[in-house]
Structure 1
Amino acid sequence: MFTRIVKMEFEAENVSAFLANFELVKHKIREFPGCCHLDLLQDKANDTIFFTYSKWEHPNDLEKYRKSELFKGVWATTKPMFRSKAEAWSVSTMEVLPI
């Protein structure tokens, strides 16, 4: 399993449209085969910056999602709303400390 973190910065006037679209697609993304977890996070200091934090069973699952019609539709809607280019990281969990 691995985690995918995507940072997106939107034009201020596009934030509500992004959130409305995310509301429509979030369950479809979460239910995509291999997706085990999905969070949408918002920066505390800049309300135009968001992150998706998702967990995937295998890198192939993420690649299948990225080649899917679902992703193509989500990206076609989301990308024109950006203020700057999205950044993405695929990371492995090294250690989890209990609370």
Structure 2
Amino acid sequence: MFVRIVKLSFKPTKVDDFITIFETNKTYIRNFEGCMFLELYRDKTHSNIFFTYSYWSDEAALNTYRHSNLFTSVWTETKQLFNNKPEAWSVDKLVSLP
């Protein structure tokens, strides 16, 4: 399993716009071939900072998504709302809870 964590920081006035974009597209992303899991988290201290956690069957599946029309559309809308450069990590899941 390939896990991707992305930190997104938005202009405070654009948070609702981002949530709308995410809500509109989350089902499409979750149903994209190779996507096994997608959740959105919000920082408890800074309400304009979010994290996406997604699980992919492998790195190739994530890369296929990242080169898709869906990603291009979502990212084009989302990147206009940032107040800081996004950060991303690719990690291996070592322990799962039962």
Q: What TM-score does the superposition give when structure 1 sets the normalisation length?
A: 0.96
Partner of 1:49: 49
Q: Which has a greater percent of strand? A: 1
SS in 2 for 1:72: helix
Per the TM alignment, residue 69 of structure 1 is displaced from its structure 2 partner at its CA by: 0.2
Partner of 2:67: 67
Please say if 1:80 is aligned against 2:70.
Answer: no
Superposed counterparts of 1:1-99, under 5 Å: 1-98=1-98
Give, in whole Å, the separation in 2 of the partners of 1:47 and 1:17: 14
Per the TM alignment, residue 95 of structure 1 is displaced from its structure 2 partner at its CA by: 2.1
Give, in whole Å, the separation in 2 of the partners of 1:56 and 1:7: 17
Structure 2 unaligned segments of length 5 or more: list them. Answer: none
**Matched residue count:** 98
Structure 1 unaligned segments of length 5 or more: list them. Answer: none
AA matched with 1:82: F
Per the TM alignment, residue 81 of structure 1 is displaced from its structure 2 partner at its CA by: 0.2
Per the TM alignment, residue 93 of structure 1 is displaced from its structure 2 partner at its CA by: 1.1
Give, in whole Å, the separation in 1 of the partners of 2:8 and 2:53: 12
Q: Percent identity?
A: 48
Give, in whole Å, the separation in 1 of the partners of 2:21 and 2:97: 34
Give, in whole Å, the separation in 2 of the partners of 1:94 and 1:17: 34
Aligned Cα root-mean-square deviation (Å): 0.8
